[in-house]
Amino acid sequence: MSARTLLESTIAGALPLLAATQFSDSGIVSRTVLSAGRTRVVLFGFAAGQELTEHATPARALVQILSGRSEWTLGGEQRTLSAGELLHMPPGLAHSVRAVEAFSMLLTLVRESDAPAPVSNGDGME
């Protein structure tokens, strides 16, 4: 395990996602699972009521809801996602998220070959 990631990019490995998820009573905890080439995988734990305001990323994003329930606004359209659901967001899509209840998710960012590398703002959701 790397000091910066939960999995080492050059070694095969497995990770129990629910056990690796960390929660804060009043915040959002993000942990980078893997960072390799154009791909970055981040594990999130959101306390109930926490939110990320509208933002966009130049990367393609896949969000897998692992536990709980969340409300998403995607390009002005609202939807609720629960454990077991997968969300795809094309590059540049404006989106926001709010934890209806405590929830966890796995975010996979895939930078397009000609897109600039996302600038990290510390929350993993460039």
**pLDDT, tens digit (0-9, with 9 covering 90-100), for 33-63:** 999 999 999 999 999 999 999 999 999 999 9
**Which CATH number belongs to the domain containing residue 50 in this structure?**
2.60.120.10
Question: pLDDT per residue over 2-31, tens digit each?
Answer: 458 999 999 999 999 999 999 999 899 999
Q: With contact defined as beta carbons under 8 Å apart, do 7 and 32 qualify?
A: no
Residues sharing a CB contact under 8 Å with residue 121, sequence separation 6 or more, in sequence order: none
Instruction: Identify the pLDDT of residue 103.
Output: 97
When pLDDT is averaged across residues 95-113 and rounded to a whole number, the result is 96
Query: How many domains, in total, are found in the chain?
Result: 1
Instruction: Identify the pLDDT of residue 2.
Output: 47
């966009």: which residue's tokens?
56
> Is 58 within a domain?
yes
């897109």: which residue's tokens?
115
Residues sharing a CB contact under 8 Å with residue 37, sequence separation 6 or more, in sequence order: none
Instruction: Identify the pLDDT of residue 4.
Output: 87
When pLDDT is averaged across residues 75-84 and rounded to a whole number, the result is 96
Task: Give the confidence band of 113 by pLDDT, cuts at 50, 70, 90.
Answer: confident
> Is 122 within a domain?
no
| Domain interval for residue 105 | 33-111
> Is 3 within a domain?
no
Strand partners of residue 18: none
Does position 105 have pLDDT exceeding 80, yes or no? Answer: yes
Instruction: Identify the pLDDT of residue 118.
Output: 54
The pTM (predicted TM-score) of the whole model is: 0.86
